[in-house]
Amino acid sequence: MEVISLLMRQNVIMFIYMFIGIFLYKKKLLTTAGSGDIGKLLLYIIMPVAILKSYLQQFSMELLGALGISFVASLIALLVSILISKLAFGKKYPIEHFGAAFSNAGFIGIPLVQMTLGQDAVFYVASFVAILNILQWTYGVFVITDGQNRISIRTILTNPIVISFVAGLLLFFLPLQMPELVTSVLSTIAAMNGPLAMIVMGAYLGQLTLKELFLDPTVYICSLVRLIVIPLATILILSVLPKEYLVLKQTILIAAAAPVGANVAIFASLHHKNYTQAVKDVCLSTVLCIISYPLILAIANLLWM
């Protein structure tokens, strides 16, 4: 139950950061363009550094085995997530299809894992985030464009999250000891992930009126699938792992139970789809996750402890 109490505390902190983002946006101290620039900073520097930092550990066969398990479990969890989302929304609601399938594992999952389970646990969530990014740029592009856009292998290979994942693996396998100055800088940059990600989410929220956010039934259905249905399915998948992998299971579940990923808004804008609908899906699910996260973790603990 300690993880649940920590998670609830971090949820409160997360929403304080979000309200700072709302305040900054409403007072015109942070513009839409400015929040977009912070999002790029998170995507290209801060999140990759957080992943890279998690792999600066001494190699051991035990960690290697756990890494393999986390990779396979993450892949299965994400494929099930895609299947559930497809069944729920199909071609009729491409924004919700994409949004429900892919959680905000990078902007919210990684910070919550860092704050509740520690930096070492990011070692396990990195696999989930890397696979999620690959699937977003392949299956996700196919869904949101209704199959009209080609999948770019080059875009996948140059994705900063994928690059940091591969670089982290190399550092994990190679017998290199990073200087203390380097690890200190990496730690400081990685610590920015949570606050900045939530401030950006607050700026997204600030763009909507309460009526827009709370009176669209489709958005509630998307949140239900993303925050409840898919996490419950993930709990069942992870239940096959033995108790000694409890932290690994909790880590993947936190990533899988995160709200709708902010990338759905980015992809919607990029491909000239309904950007406002995408922002509503992201924002409402982010607001509701303060309730769903403790509930999902409590159910998991009942089954796993």
- Give me 246's structure tokens: 């409890």
- Whether 49 shows a pLDDT value over 60: the answer reads yes
How would residue 58 be classed by pLDDT, with cut points 50, 70 and 90?
A: confident
- Whether 1 shows a pLDDT value over 80: the answer reads no
Domain hosting 172: range is 2-201+208-304
Q: What angle do CA 222, 125, 75 make, to 5 degrees?
A: 65
The pLDDT of residue 255 is 94
CB 107 within 8 A of CB 201: yes
Count of structural domains, the chain? 1
Residue type at position 40: K
Tell me what the mean pLDDT of segment 121-131 comes to. Answer: 86
CA 291 to the chain's CA centroid: 17
Q: What is the mean pLDDT of the chain?
A: 86
Q: What CATH number has the domain bearing residue 31?
A: 1.20.1530
